[in-house]
Structure 1
């Protein structure tokens, strides 16, 4: 069908020519022309044919003249287009050189791109500023780079890239306040960008703007920038921070409400359970606090849960407290932490036989991250029960040689701290403390920048090391 439509005009033209030929053949005649004493006579068909040939020749000559007239302008346009193309090629190659870390090539290609665009009578495209800024960064000229990034904010096509560059520069110089303002603006432009949401959350938590961080976290989970499971843990951490602030402001009811929500989100999270239990104790509801700690103990067996459990029982006699701790042993009978906790209470009650029994159960589980604590408790037992200073010294030496006890270790900078905090006390990263055995063969990484867009380093990495756990499991 399409082929028939394409040849239809040719068929119509043939029919018209044949019809015209038949028409003139059936109606012969002559045409005469007299001019300057000359007389020319010809058949009508020949005259029509001559007229057609004349018109064709004139049309060809006029077309040729028009082409010759436009040739210089056409050649100039082609030359401009070629230079623009060379400019874009230089721009592309320059960005590739930036990615490859070739500062000299990036600078050279930026200059060539600028030259080609200028010769092509074309304003430099917005990405030329990006190349210029990256080249400036590679040669260490931060002031020029920031100037280029700032200029990019005036063009809708490059505004987001300019914000990204300025955020990086603000973070590198430690200006979190400026970085937060820029990240908020970037979020308004592209609210579904993962690194923007993650960076905004990290910066808001660094600034301890817990309410804003809560709203940002909700948006990040909704957009898929943070997984639902990680978001749940972050939410619990934010609620603990809310609770601590409310308690510091004397808002006991609000503090308890936030703590209860945090414990409800993750009842195995040791910091949430211990904070909630202490608030319940302060509100004369110690029994409920003990139940909350027992729930957390079943989930984690965290030693700081046992420590909080002991604090809630501070008013009871040591023997009674040991009976209470037998409840923890029953909940996790094969966990060395259960026996270590009970042994510590037994030592305090001077019940040497019970202490030795529980320490024997703990040691029977084999060496582990608790070996340091086990050795110290054995040293205390030998000194208290037998007054054996030599045995005590042997156990203390074993503690020194043994593996370090678990503690809260920051996954970003490697700093260690005994108590859990929503922010690392060293690098101020949010929810980065994990309960694990520290690796002291490596130096800390306090100089690491953790809130950067992709390609620089991880942003608010929610994945703890394989040997680590935020709740101690």
Structure 2
């Protein structure tokens, strides 16, 4: 309570040594270790919780993966490449659906010259939950391929979860990169009507631009994008706090392993993270879209929204 976390940690370790089966002591120690980035110690405490029956085996496996991933990130930040790669792969094996672990493991395999392993890791995670970072890692497997070859290679990924909004937007972006705007429109389907968010509407603006639509039409889509929901983000299940990036513990409430990739409550929406806009759209189209956004002033946005009956206070 006084903020002396070092002393609190020392006392918690002493209490844990005296009564390792005491659940409250386990929880306090685990929280302090996670806050102090003592991932190795936290994994030992987690193991004790499993041993003494205060944590179900499946929950232990998932949280151990989270801690292993955090340990891998810490090792990589210390420029210990091989150890970090091994821990990233370990985290992915413990919980294949943990998106950041899958991304880190895939990148480790790419560095080791094992592209098939990387593709397998990403595909397994994509089957559980499509995510832009997974698509980005999949693109890194063959960074210099042409847009048409990339579409062909990505079929192995996009055939899984084809109706997920992320899959539809990924396919649309890939076709925009190949300047195949009709297929991009088909890939997007009815997403802009059923689950419109800022990214889907921005993609639609790029499609319209590519097909030669007027500036008025393109601006209309961009205006809708500016006031649309931001789409899925990393949200704490415990306190609903939104994070720009995944973290093992919530920045707001300190809870361990509570971040989920989902649409936040509308009242909690914040700007899109850089990861949310997968950089697969052709640069020229991106530049034109940015110019179009810059040209829209507040009056135009209000006028366009008023036409749709979507004026916000």
TM (norm. structure 1) is 0.53
1:367 to 167, 171, 194: 194
Deviation at 1:215, TM superposition (A): 0.5
Give how far 1:220 is off. 0.9
1:356 to 2:185 alignment: yes
Gaps of 5+ in 1: 1-171, 445-473
Task: Rate the CA distance shift 1:301–1:264 in 2: closer, same or farther, 3 A.
Answer: same
Q: Is 1:422 aligned with 2:248? A: yes
Q: Which range moves more in the overlay, 371-380 or 394-403? A: 394-403
Instruction: Sort the Cα spacing of 1:320 and 1:335 in 2 relative to 1 into closer, same or farther, 3 A.
Output: same
Deviation of the 1:404 alpha carbon? 2.9
Residues in 2 aligned to 1:288 and 1:266: alpha-carbon distance in whole angstroms: 16
Q: State the Cα distance separating 1:198 from its structure 2 match.
A: 1.3
Cα distance in structure 1, aligned partners of 2:119 and 2:190: 24
Which residue among 218, 223, 227 is the counterpart of 1:397? Answer: 223
**For 1:31-60, what per-residue CA distance to the aligned partner results, in whole angstroms no more than 9, with x for missing partners?**
xxxxxxxxxxxxxxxxxxxxxxxxxxxxxx
Q: Shift in Å at residue 405 of structure 1?
A: 0.8
8 Å Cα contact 2:233-2:263 kept in structure 1: yes
- The structure-2 alpha-carbon separation of the partners of 1:298 and 1:230, relative to structure 1 and needing over 3 Å to count, comes to same
Following superposition, the deviation at residue 427 of structure 1 comes to 5.5
Instruction: Between the two structures, name the one with larger relative contact order (CA 8 Å, sep ≥ 6).
Output: 2
Deviations along 1:204-259, one digit per CA (max 9) or x if unpaired, are: 01111111111100001222222222211111111112222222333332222211
Q: 282, 293, 297: which is aligned to 2:126?
A: 297
**1:399: how far off?**
2.4
User: SS where residue 159 of structure 2 aligns?
Assistant: helix
CA contact (8 A) 1:339 1:361 kept: no
Q: Is the 8 A contact 1:259 1:276 kept in 2?
A: yes
Contact 2:242 2:268 in 1 (8 A): no
Distance 2:199 2:160 in 1: 21
Moved >4 Å (runs of 4+): 425-429
1:443 Cα deviation from its structure 2 partner? 10
Provide the rounded CA distance (Å) in 1 between the counterparts of 2:253 and 2:178. Answer: 41
Aligned partners of 1:237 and 1:262 also within 8 Å: yes
Q: CA deviation at 1:277?
A: 0.6
Which of 332, 340, 346 is the equivalent residue of 2:169? 340
3-state SS, counterpart of residue 144 of structure 2: coil
What CA distance in whole angstroms lies between the structure 1 residues aligned with 2:129 and 2:103? 12
Are residue 321 (structure 1) and residue 150 (structure 2) matched? yes
Alpha-carbon distance in 2 for matches of 1:263, 1:385: 42
Q: What is aligned with 2:34?
A: 205
1:85-109 Cα offsets, whole Å, 9 max, x none, are: xxxxxxxxxxxxxxxxxxxxxxxxx
SS of residue matched to 1:386: coil
Aligned to 1:194: 23
Structure 2 segments unaligned to the other structure (5+ residues): 271-313
RMSD of Structure 2 on Structure 1 (CA): 2.4
Kindly name which structure, 1 or 2, has the bigger radius of gyration based on alpha carbons: 1
CA displacement at 1:296 relative to structure 2:
1.0
Counterparts of 1:35-434 in structure 2 under 5 Å?
172-360=1-189, 362-363=191-192, 367-368=194-195, 371-412=197-238, 414-425=240-251, 428-434=254-260
Scaled by the length of structure 2, the TM-score of the pair is: 0.78
Is the Cα contact below 8 Å between 2:235 and 2:262 reproduced in 1?
yes
**Equivalent residue of 1:343, what SS?**
helix
Maintained 8 Å contact 2:34/2:42: yes
The alpha carbon displacement at 1:441 in A equals 2.3
Equivalent in the alignment of 1:58: none
Question: Take 2:23 and 2:266, find their aligned partners in 1: how far apart are those partners?
Answer: 33
Distance 2:180 2:142 in 1: 18
